[in-house]
Structure 1
Amino acid sequence: MGRVLRRGRIVVALLSVLVLMVTGYAWDQYRNLTTGIRTSNALSGSGKSSGGDTNILIMGLDSRLDENGNPLPQDIYDALHAGDQQVGGYNANVLMLLHVPGDGSKATSISIPRDDYVSFPGSPDGTSKGKIKQAYGLAFDQAHRQLVAQGITDRATLEQRSRDAGRKEEIDAVRQFLGGVPVDHFVEVTLVAFYQIAQVVQPITVCLNEATQDSYSGADFHAGQQQITAAQAVAFVRQRRDYVHPELNFTDLDRERRQQAFIASVAYQLKQTGTLADPSRLSAIIDVAKQNMAIDSGLDLLSFAQQASNLTGGNITFTTLPIAGFGKDPAGEDVNLVDVPQVQGIVRNLLDGPPPADAAPPSAAPAPAAGGSGTVDVVNATSRTGLAASVEHALDGSGFTAGATSTASVSRKSTTIDYGPGSAAAAHTLSTLLGGLPVAQDTAVPSGHLRVVLGSNFSMPRSLAAAGSSAGPTAPPSGPAAPAPDTGSALDSISGGGIPCVK
């Protein structure tokens, strides 16, 4: 149980920032909330969003300590079965960028997989590349050693100054990875918060597409909607394997989706059941936030609440950034391989909206073939019969011309879009329509044509699924063969405002 809650503790930040602050009672308690909460100046000097938009980076730490660096009560360690203060560290195992548009339109929460292999702008501890979650801990360690060498011995001072170094490096690493997006504010939560929040708001309704069991996390759930306790919530957000049902083929990305679904479900239930009007339960949530949460000194909770008051009503979409595949770092540790230009393009589209259909990407020369035009040929390199025809049918009305469909002689995992001369802009437009697929030029593709090669990781975007449903199945057929691991290379999202079903 050594990694309990790293995917679930994010809920305390969103509950505190998105839920507590949207009720009149919560704002009666505004002074009470802000008086006891820890603040940080780690964001000083950072660039800010324009047009009234707000970007908040939410970080969940893999630490068995509280915000002051002190051990947790023994009863908490006993309840979590997560080890004690000697276990864990300062990895930012939860990274979520919350974008709230200034015009009141739908907000977006972008989850960044913790094992994405990226560059570290500050090279903390002499490390220039690593898993994005490690930026915090490496900078914390470097700063802590330097502070001790300077003769600083006060435990609280050491802890917070070291954390500020970790916060700054983690924020800078995220900003660089996402293409220089501004981070206006941050919220940091520690390990114990999720369990304490779950205790306050239980029972919690969740929904699963399939029955699943896992002795490692303690997960044992049936298919469909069900109410779970705080202890079961720990297993729900922690599960990343199922040896009883190996065909489910869990990966760490599934915990990202569980995390998002749990947040959406809890926020929806709190609003529907009137929990936020219950002074005793609300006070308990506020007390948890004080103990296990830190924010930047510039975050005006009251002002943000006025901007974000409609998010608990479902005016938010949760999105997980895709990865290109799995690999090893120089030390032999498992990492997520990422297509950085693809990720940055997706983030731009999510925050600013898609570019005009006739706009070429910044690095491409103007091309005669405009976005939304060209002939699309689709190759089915999966075992899903009729998938190529489904994609062609789903693209009806998009401006693209249906081309040839075919079946590859060899199956493949990844999905790609290849384009011929003059079709770069059209390829990027098609990529956006199909969920942010990687694109590449291929001289074997005729001019004016685009070739989509469908791998086993392809998932029809919800916006196109209805159009393509009549042409053939999009889900893998049942059978003894397990599907290829889900790399998340097709962008997927979860909408707020209800109880979403996940794996």
Structure 2
Amino acid sequence: MVALAAVLVLVGTGAVWRGYHAALDGVTTSQALDDGPKSAGADQNILVMGLDSRLDEHGNPLPQDMYDALHAGDDSEGGYNSNVLILMHIPGDGSKSTAISIPRDDYVPLDPAACGGSTCKGKVKQAYGLAYQATKDKLTSTVKDPIELEQRSRDAGRKAEIATVRTFLGGVPIDHFVEVTLVAFFQIAQAVQPITVCLNENTSDKFFSGADFHKGEQQIDAEQAMAFVRQRRDPDPNLNFTDMDRTRRQQAFIVSLAKQLQDSGTLTNLGKLRSLLDIAKQNIAIDSGLDPMQFAQRASTMMSGGMSLFTLPVVDFGQDDLGEDVNIVDIPTIRATVRELLSSPGSASSSGTPTSTGVVTVPIQAASGVTVNVVNGSDETGLARKLELALVNRGFTAGDAISGSSRNTTTITYGTGADAAASALADQFGATATKSSAVDSHTVTVTIGADAVGNATITAMAASVPDDPTSATPTTTTPPPAPVSATATGANSPAPTDLSSMESSKVPCVK
């Protein structure tokens, strides 16, 4: 994004249009952005994907001295996971922009392209790499040009990642994307170093990330910047470092980088600007519909007008079937939170719909006009009735809630005309939706299995209904959880699971 913003200054300082087009000629553009929903009016949502790749944008290894400086392994390490996912919202009315960081290990339904065409769940970051590899394996025998093979595989990864994020966040429009490799981050830091960062306490992690920082403000070089944004461990267990803290470090670095660009004169230094553009050519990709000149103007406004940065909350930490660490998320709460953050203050559409307990819900896509039946095949008494009421609060029409025979797996069956609603529900539950002639038209039947007890979405939905549903009384709307300041200290600092916020008005102090 910094490299693209440099384009505007090149033109503004007297560079001719021919030079502008030549500068952009080597930037990788992609057709991966699909025909999904787009923002209304002049608003724009831009998905920033930071790849955990030790290769350049064309799939080539880096010089060895670069790997030594990165302190992150060589070209055999990493891969094509989207380890950084940030949705940038730029309002068309010129008001403050919003950046929403999605923790990389959130356990969510993945786009079918990442799962061999079927429904599956995984870490949100994995959609890119899984679809990339599946496409590359499929095309290897027919596509002999390695550059074409790499780009077609990457486009498949981009499409799957964009679709996964869009669905996870509740169908948010994604108008453009910017893809950045790990080395691009390092090279940008090289071009503008030193950069001022601030920490709330002394911390070190010399083995994994190479971090060694003292409390308070300090200036760091590019190699230290890599350690700053990658650190998630410390010998002191009382610091309770997690991956969420690394996400907040990334946000703090973005703020410090923007401040350094403004204060150091980089944006008026043609030599440094050309360096940034060279970085863009090697290690950044954008969608083909993104006009760099127009975006540079918007980016300039965004940098000068300030920005609010949020990190989405998680419910808990757990493990998937392979024993890998994952973040357990409540998808309805995530969608309500994102809807609130992207809506204008006071907007009637920003608060969702209150349940009988005052918990905000977001309607499930295509639920209107569809009846839902719930059969309880788990050992938890009353779960069918609670889940049915929770689904009614999300737009379904109430059907039957009954007990059934014990079963291990939750399933969803549906009749004619209910396919869209069943598919949306399956995405939320991480289940499979199957059409059945035994189910009435415009009807969905959810059969709860024993696995529902460990399903964060089902558990959260059931918890939104009182133990005695007949005692429910309407209450006022309760907004999504209030964000905790990412820069607070002591007892006021964010817990690992909190929704947190950060402002770009000054260099932020973080854990």
Q: Which residue of 1 aligns with 2:66?
A: 76
**Which of 80, 84, 87 is the equivalent residue of 1:94?**
84
**Which of 223, 248, 251 is the equivalent residue of 2:215?**
223
Query: In the aligned structure 2, how far is the partner of 1:239 from the partner of 1:370?
Result: 35
Structure 2 CA distance for partners of 1:56 and 1:218, relative to 1, 3 Å: same
Tell me, yes or no, if structure 1 residue 114 matches structure 2 residue 104.
yes
Aligned partners of 1:20 and 1:276 also within 8 Å: no
Deviation at 1:361, TM superposition (A): 3.5
Structure 2 CA distance for partners of 1:460 and 1:306, relative to 1, 3 Å: closer
Tell me, yes or no, if structure 1 residue 320 matches structure 2 residue 307.
no
**Which of 440, 453, 465 is the equivalent residue of 2:464?**
440
Deviation at 1:442, TM superposition (A): 3.0
Percent identity reads 54
Deviation at 1:317, TM superposition (A): 1.0
Match of 1:309, SS? helix
Deviation at 1:123, TM superposition (A): 4.6
Deviation by residue 1:269-292 (Cα, 9 ceiling, x = unmatched): 210222211111111111111110
Query: In the aligned structure 1, how far is the partner of 2:359 from the partner of 2:222?
Result: 53
Structure 2 CA distance for partners of 1:72 and 1:344, relative to 1, 3 Å: same
Structure 2 CA distance for partners of 1:446 and 1:122, relative to 1, 3 Å: closer
Match of 2:241, SS? coil
Moved more, 39-48 or 262-271: 39-48
Query: In the aligned structure 2, how far is the partner of 1:370 from the partner of 1:80?
Result: 45
Deviation at 1:176, TM superposition (A): 0.3
Tell me, yes or no, if structure 1 residue 160 matches structure 2 residue 160.
no
Deviation at 1:215, TM superposition (A): 1.6
Quick one: which amino acid aligns to residue 494 of structure 1? M
Matches within 5 A, 1:205-220: 205-216=196-207, 217-220=209-212
Quick one: which amino acid aligns to residue 15 of structure 1? V
Deviation at 1:26, TM superposition (A): 9.4
Tell me, yes or no, if structure 1 residue 476 matches structure 2 residue 485.
no
Structure 2 CA distance for partners of 1:161 and 1:449, relative to 1, 3 Å: closer
Tell me, yes or no, if structure 1 residue 45 matches structure 2 residue 35.
yes
**Which of 50, 59, 77 is the equivalent residue of 1:60?**
50
Aligned partners of 1:312 and 1:497 also within 8 Å: no
TM-score by length of 2: 0.72
CA root-mean-square deviation: 3.3
Deviation by residue 1:338-371 (Cα, 9 ceiling, x = unmatched): 0001000111111113565899744747x9x999
Q: Which residue of 2 aligns with 1:500?
A: 508
**Which of 303, 321, 342 is the equivalent residue of 1:330?**
321
Query: In the aligned structure 2, how far is the partner of 1:440 from the partner of 1:107?
Result: 32
Gaps of 5+ in 1: 1-13, 372-423, 426-436, 453-457, 466-473, 478-482
Query: Number of residue pairs matched?
Result: 403
Match of 2:182, SS? coil
Deviation at 1:179, TM superposition (A): 0.4
Match of 1:310, SS? helix
Deviation at 1:246, TM superposition (A): 2.1
Match of 1:197, SS? helix
Q: Which residue of 2 aligns with 1:289?
A: 280
TM-score by length of 1: 0.73
Deviation at 1:191, TM superposition (A): 1.7
Deviation by residue 1:33-60 (Cα, 9 ceiling, x = unmatched): 3211010000142321111111111111
Q: Which residue of 2 aligns with 1:238?
A: 230
Quick one: which amino acid aligns to residue 70 of structure 1? N
Q: Which residue of 2 aligns with 1:267?
A: 258
Deviation at 1:200, TM superposition (A): 1.1
Structure 2 CA distance for partners of 1:21 and 1:179, relative to 1, 3 Å: farther
Tell me, yes or no, if structure 1 residue 191 matches structure 2 residue 182.
yes
Match of 2:154, SS? helix
Matches within 5 A, 1:381-396: none
Structure 2 CA distance for partners of 1:364 and 1:333, relative to 1, 3 Å: same
Q: Which residue of 2 aligns with 1:133?
A: 125
Query: In the aligned structure 2, how far is the partner of 1:225 from the partner of 1:186?
Result: 32
Q: Which residue of 1 aligns with 2:292?
A: 301
Aligned partners of 2:3 and 2:273 also within 8 Å: no
Gaps of 5+ in 2: 361-392, 395-459
Query: In the aligned structure 2, how far is the partner of 1:68 from the partner of 1:96?
Result: 23
**Which of 479, 488, 491 is the equivalent residue of 2:499?**
491
Query: In the aligned structure 2, how far is the partner of 1:140 from the partner of 1:84?
Result: 20
